A and B are shown apart, each in its own frame.
Chain A
Amino acid sequence: SQKIEQNSEALNIQEGKTATLTCNYTNYSPAYLQWYRQDPGRGPVFLLLIRENEKEKRKERLKVTFDTTLKQSLFHITASQPADSATYLCASSGGYNKLIFGAGTRLAVHP
C-alpha cells in the first residue's frame, strides 16, 4: 500500500542553522509532494508543493527537493529561527485529490 514516512519524529537545532527534514515514499510514484506546517491546536498551513518533474523549489528561507530515484523529498529551512518551531508534515497525492500524510517531524529551534 502507499506509504509516506518522515524519519525523524523530532529535530532540535540551534538558531541560525539549517534544518533539514526528510520524507520518503514507498510503493507508488506520487505526481507531487506537499509540505505543511502545523502548530499545536491548529490546522496545517500549506508551505510548498513540488511536482515530480521539478527537482527543487524555493520560497524565501524554505527549499524543497524531490528525488524520484531515491523516492525522497528534503525540506530545508535556512537561517532557522525559534518562530520556525512547529510540526512539519509531508503529504503526497493519493488519487482522487486525496492526500496521504506522513507522521510529521517536530522541529524545535533553540535560541
Chain B
Amino acid sequence: GAVVSQHPSRVICKSGTSVKIECRSLDFQATTMFWYRQFPKQSLMLMATSNEGSKATYEQGVEKDKFLINHASLTLSTLTVTSAHPEDSSFYICSARDSFGPSNQPQHFGDGTRLSIL
C-alpha cells in the first residue's frame, strides 16, 4: 500500500537551531504534500501545502519565513523550522496522496516528527 516516510522521527536541539524534516512518498508520486502541526490531545492543524516545483501555500497565521518548505521532486518535500524556539516544539506530520491515481484518493501520513527545542 501507499507509504509515506518521514525523517527524523525525533529531534531535540537547542534554541536558535534550524531543523529540517523530510517527507518522502515511497511508492507513488505527489505533486502536492501537506504539512501539519499537532499539539498534545489536539487535532491536526494544516500549516501549508507543498507544491512540486513552485512555492508552498501557507495557511493563515503560519509564518512562511519561519517554516520553509521545499518540494524539489515528485517524491520529496522538506520542512525547515528556522531558528527554532521552545514555542516551536510540537509534533509535525506530513501527508501526501497519489497525484496520478484515481480521484478522491485518501491522504497517507508519515509517522510524524517530535520536535523538542530546549
Contacts and interface: CB of A to CB of B under 8 A. Distances in A.
Interface of A: 31-32, 34, 36, 41-46, 49, 51, 89, 91, 96-104
Contacts of B6: 43
Contacts of A101: 43-44
A101 B47 CA distance: 13
B104 A49 contact: yes
A100 B34 CA distance: 12
Nearest to B6: A43
Q: B interface, by DSSP: helix, strand, loop or mixed?
A: strand
Contacts of B97: 97
A103 B42 contact: yes
8 contacts: A31-B104, A36-B109, A43-B93, A49-B104, A51-B104, A97-B107, A98-B34, A99-B46
What interface size band does chain B fall in? Answer: 20 to 34
Contacts of B91: 41
A34 B107 contact: yes
A103 B44 CA distance: 8
B106 interface: yes
Contacts of A91: 107
Given A43-B109, A46-B107, A98 B93 contact: no
Contact of A98 (B4, B42, B46, B109): B46
